[in-house]
Structure formats: C-alpha cells, structure tokens
Amino acid sequence: MNQVPADLPGDVLARCKALPRKPAPVVLTGARVVLRPLDLERDIEPLHAVSSGAPFTLGDRHAAAYDPEPVIWRWMRGTTNRTASELHAYLAPQHANPDMRMLVVCDRPTATPVGVACYMANRPEDLKVELGHIWYGPIAQRTGAAREATHLMLGHAFGLGYRRIEWKCDALNERSRRAALSYGFTFEGVQQAHMIIKGRNRDTAWFRMLDSEWPAIQARLESPGNPGGAGGS
C-alpha cells in the first residue's frame, strides 16, 4: 500500500524559515565552562597556547609538554599548528563559513580559552545541525569540560527548535565514538570512502540525537552521578 508522509505542524515549518543559515552568536554558561563566539584577533594567541604542545598551567592543573598531533590534530583537517599564524590560517575559513558558528570554550573560573566547538553543516530548512570541529587542549581533556560544553550546545539547539543534531567522526576515532555514545547520541552507521583527509581515506561514523529523545538524555546528563552533571567530577 502506498503511504504518504504526514504533514508537519505549521509551527514546525515556521521554524524552518525563521532560523538563520549561519547560527546566531550566543553565550552559553555552565558550571565549568563558558562558550562564546570566536573572535580570531582576541582568541588566537590563547588558543594556540593551549594547543601548541608547550607546557601549560591553569589553576591547580598542569599539562606537561606533549606532541599535539596525536593529542589534538590526528582526526582533524588541521595539522600541528606550531605557530599562532598557522592556527589562524586553519580557523579563519571555518570562522567565515556561512553555515557554521564557531564557539570558544573557556574555563569559567579563569575565562581562559581551552578549546573550540562548532555548530556546523546547518540546515534550518530541515531543522538539523551538526556539532563538529571540536577540539580541546590537554589542559581541559578529561575534566568534564567537553561533556558540559556539549550538553550546553545540545540544550541551546533543541531550545531553538531543531529536530535533529548530528555528530560525525572518523570511524577510526574511538575516543570520539565513545564520547558520542556517552552523551546520548545514537549510532546510525558508517559511510565508507566519505572523505579524503590529509591524503588518507576517511570512513565516517554517523551519530544523531532527536528532539523527542532530548528530555530523557538531558535528565541523565544533569543527574548528580553523571560526569559533567550536577555534582559530577
């Protein structure tokens, strides 16, 4: 039997026309982090400082010297940005992308930039957007900063009326795949030969979260025993 999809309600379709192609700038504040729109001139030096491989101290935390290629850049289009100008050249095209909004993730107590997270591949006509181009310096890794930043971005996007939020990563990037599942995303499969990155094939793992799923996921993320939730570590 031929079936015809049901029409969506008028208020849903109205959001398709109301949301901008480039996500609007926003400041999102949590217990650990504050996300604000990237300002290249203001933010490039501190972002380079937390991602260059040099030792870095923030409050009572210290990151020893490290190789940024496996720690930050292995799964990104960017290479090891050994100078601030190289990092600027990498971030500038993303910053100018008409369907992307780059946010700087800052340590809330000190206002120090510790990473970047983006709304990207924005399709307001389909009420879907992707969280991507996400990276953190080791000073913020395994502190709950990424979990809280993702939680804030999910809540904001669903609050705007998006129906679907996507997460994509290299299929070999086990850390990103585990993170997506821990945040509540559902694995949808692997798209083979999806991209060529740094001269290498990339199969892409796809994850998604739907607006109907968000209330239960939000409650779990905010539970006291959840890392990054209220009282989490």
pLDDT (tens digit, 9 = 90+) per residue, 56-106? 999 999 999 999 999 999 999 877 778 999 999 999 999 999 999 999 999
Is residue 6 assigned to a domain? no
pLDDT (tens digit, 9 = 90+) per residue, 135-161? 999 999 999 999 999 999 999 999 999
Q: How many domains does the chain have?
A: 1
Question: What pLDDT, on the 0 to 100 scale, is given for residue 226?
Answer: 65
- Comparing C-alpha atoms, which of 177, 123, 185 is closest to residue 151? 185
* Pairing relationship of beta strands 112-123 and 186-197 according to DSSP bridges: unpaired
pLDDT (tens digit, 9 = 90+) per residue, 93-123? 999 999 999 999 999 999 999 999 999 999 9
Is residue 14 assigned to a domain? no
Question: What pLDDT, on the 0 to 100 scale, is given for residue 231?
Answer: 30
Is residue 150 assigned to a domain? yes
Is residue 93 assigned to a domain? yes
Angle between helices 214-221 and 145-160 (to 10 degrees): 150
Residue 32 sits in which domain range?
Answer: 20-221
pLDDT (tens digit, 9 = 90+) per residue, 168-211? 999 999 999 999 999 999 999 999 999 999 899 999 999 999 99
**Residues 151, 67, 194, CA angle at the centre, nearest 5°?**
60
**Position 125 pLDDT exceeds 60:** yes
Is residue 126 assigned to a domain? yes
Mean of pLDDT values over 214-231: 74
Question: What pLDDT, on the 0 to 100 scale, is given for residue 1?
Answer: 67
Which residue in this structure is represented by tokens 């009420």?
127
pTM (two decimals): 0.93
**Position 227 pLDDT exceeds 80:** no
Residue 230: pLDDT band with limits 50, 70, 90: very low
**Position 31 pLDDT exceeds 50:** yes
For residue 89, give both structure tokens: 């050249």
Is residue 233 assigned to a domain? no
Is residue 25 assigned to a domain? yes
Question: What pLDDT, on the 0 to 100 scale, is given for residue 232?
Answer: 30
Domain with residue 98: its CATH number is 3.40.630.30
Is residue 232 assigned to a domain? no
